[in-house]
Structure 1
């Protein structure tokens, strides 16, 4: 990432994080296709793989349940995780996977990159932490992408975590509740309230 572009991205990330933390971020919760979240994120990040010996593999079972969430925000999380995986993978395969586990969908982004040391794994979701950048040269990100992802997932009543071993790659995972009849009722109830608050 060029320095000017990195600065612009950092400013936008800071604004997003401030909005989330202050409760000013607009959220649009609805039924969202789990498969489409992954497909759209993969399409958006395809250019990151240009000229690199890295392949992107999607692993989503047919008929997987939809989730209840903000489609743009959830896609942003997957994009952040793919971008992070590309940054630390010199060659190999990045796999984006989704599986249903009880009443939630668990999304995984697995890479065959350099991995993250145990002492650094607790830091990756903190603001301005760029764990691993020292191993690949100067910083290539803003140090905010994973912090924003954590805030987004926690706002969805989910969780985000990391499993990694140096030299063997990383697996970033997050969970989001599946869409239920109760969510449909909440959407129906919320519509007139939103209209009233805006007039």
Structure 2
């Protein structure tokens, strides 16, 4: 009888409210996530795409949002609708990604600017300074692990998204994100005197 009741409740999942589905998901009914995804993935993807402007990044963020929800998230049905919660969470995470991307691009453009200045330096003093700076950059890159160097090269020189890098290297997306972040943080620490 107990299995009939659980089977019956699973059949009724598509007709349940978002709050009921969320509680079912928290109670271990993973099928509820699929119903919530079907209901709200369009909203999440649309908001992500509008902010990020990249379909692959929007897909990645959509997946991240629903994984967050599956892990329990911070949604409280008493405080508002799930749709509003997902919209706010998506917008916040998308803006974080844009800011992160902007920070990385600014860092790299300053770094590349330093490299181009190296080739146009005129005086012997400038050439000596730029040569020393180039050595600092090489030394900073050498301090990164091989995997961090590879991921940063693929991202910033080859133009691959983190999802594409994960597929090419056959590693989880989370691993790529973590290695890229650690690599950039280490580079920033090492090159603080030259960047900014």
The TM-score bracket by the shorter chain reads under 0.3
* Larger fraction in helix: 2
RCO higher in structure (CA 8 A, sep ≥6): 1
* Larger fraction in strand: 1
For the pair shown, the structure with the greater C-alpha radius of gyration is 2
